[in-house]
Amino acid sequence: MKASPPQNNYPAGNVVATPVIQGVKLLHADESLLVLDKPAGLLSVPGRGEDKQDCLSARVQAVFADALIVHRLDQATSGLMLMARSAAMQRALSRSFETREVSKRYVAVVSGHLPTPDDPSGWGLIDLPIVVDWPNRPLRIIDTERGKPSQTRWQVLSHDVAANTTRVELEPVTGRSHQLRVHLKALGHPILGDAMYAPETVQAAAPRLLLHAAALKFTHPASGLAMAFESAPEF
């Protein structure tokens, strides 16, 4: 049964049983913030032009008029996003992102057999600076001289020998645009379905970008409670 759109009157701490707002799953709503699950192919915010006005923020604001964007996911990426319900909460959550108090984990499927890191923890670190590729905007590139410091932690979840792919978990330490996509390309293992950074054969290996924001942890700025959300990828 499809859930009815929620009303704009949630008390603090009330967890909603996954209503859907025009294809966007609402995982949590209280008087301060919203936790949403964005489908792949949907913009986070409006773009330029009439054909780019449909986006997560517009769909959510049709139900929660006070909802404000705190961070973004690429259009091709699916998964968890936060929205604030006041300017003060937007500032508080933005500070949490800036000070790296928000933990984000992604799941991706990449081309080739990516070996498990040697570290006993099972985690590896990509530490490669990223800069805008100005002649080819909005693409990003690795640039050790002009790039901004960019770090991504990663671990192997599984290998698919038959498909010659690797499922990985990713934790961005920094939050540069396209960071995960650029870093995995730099490793020689681009994400399947990546129309911006993968060769044509890897693009064609999946109907969409196989990158999903799967876990989100943060301290609620109003209540001080630890908040944790998970979303399983559809791939």
Q: Name the residues annotated as catalytic.
A: 74
Q: Per residue in 22-57, is it b (16+ CB within 10 Å) or e — as a string? A: eebbbbbbbbbbbbbbbebebbbeeeeeeeeeebbb
Pairwise CA distance, residues 137 & 199, whole Å:
18
Q: Which of 105, 104, 81, 117 is nearest to 189 (CA)?
A: 117
Amino acid found at 40 = A
Asked if residues 32 and 80 have their Cβ atoms less than 8 Å apart, the reply is no
The total of other beta-carbon atoms located within 10 Å of residue 176's CB is: 20
Encoding tokens for residue 225?
């409670």
Virtual torsion, Cα 112, 118, 122, 123, nearest 10 deg: -80
Encoding tokens for residue 235?
């791939």
Peptide bond into 138 cis (omega under 30): yes
Encoding tokens for residue 176?
């540069």
